[in-house]
Amino acid sequence: MYVTTGAIELKLPEGSNRILVKNLFLSCDPYPISGAGVAEDLDSGDPEFKKGDLVWGLTGWEEYSLITASMLFKIHHTDVPLSYHTGILRGEFVFISATSGAVGELVGQFAKLMGCYVVGSAGSNDKVDLLKNKLGFDDAFN
């Protein structure tokens, strides 16, 4: 085994409209290939983003990601810990998909406790009724 060290320059390919980010926080969602993340913009081919911007969105479980701008949102206020952007505290509105299971039901209830407007998607009218009338979701549909 040989251990070598080296350096590479991280930059976008010429003409790219993507964003190169360094991931700072990653969600602990049950699918580890990608998930919600908070990152710092290192190089941007999109005029809406610039070096140093803090962003959140769908990132890879890796140290650096090359992402399309449509997958990212700027973080304008840093008055809460950046890690909050990877979980249920992403904003004032939370959409919970596939809430027929316990995880979605709990996430919806946590979001309600944090003052979010919660909408659920369920597989039957009985589950829609459960979400709206027993668990307190603001809206739900089948």
Distance between CA 56 and CA 38 in Å, rounded?
A: 4
Please compute the mean of the pLDDT values over residues 27-37 and round it to a whole number.
72
Looking at residue 43, what is its pLDDT? Answer: 95
Residue numbers of the domain that contains 111: 88-141
Whether residues 75 and 95 share a domain: the answer is no
Residues whose CB is less than 8 angstroms from the CB of residue 101 and which lie 6 or more positions away in sequence, other chains included: none
Whether residues 108 and 92 share a domain: the answer is yes
Residues whose CB is less than 8 angstroms from the CB of residue 66 and which lie 6 or more positions away in sequence, other chains included: 12, 18, 19, 20
Of 85, 128, 134, nearest to 109 by C-alpha is 134
Tell which wins on pLDDT, 49 or 83: 49
Distance between CA 15 and CA 129 in Å, rounded?
A: 51
Residue 137 belongs to a domain: yes
Instruction: Give yes or no for residue 50 having a pLDDT over 90.
Output: yes
Of 2, 9, 141, 42, nearest to 55 by C-alpha is 42
Looking at residue 142, what is its pLDDT? Answer: 80
Distance between CA 77 and CA 13 in Å, rounded?
A: 30
Please compute the mean of the pLDDT values over residues 33-53 and round it to a whole number.
91
Residue 105 belongs to a domain: yes
Distance between CA 127 and CA 142 in Å, rounded?
A: 8
CATH number at residue 111: 3.40.50.720
Whether residues 112 and 72 share a domain: the answer is no
Query: Which token pair is 49?
Result: 């983003």
Range among 16-20, 31-35, 60-64, 97-101 rated most confident: 16-20
Range among 42-56, 65-79, 123-137 rated most confident: 42-56
Tell which wins on pLDDT, 13 or 92: 13
| E strand segments, 61-121 | 64-68, 72-74, 93-96, 117-121
Tell which wins on pLDDT, 51 or 80: 51
Looking at residue 39, what is its pLDDT? Answer: 95
Query: Per residue in 94-135, pLDDT tens?
Result: 555 545 577 778 888 888 887 877 888 788 899 889 989 999
Looking at residue 17, what is its pLDDT? Answer: 93
Question: Domain tally for the chain?
Answer: 2
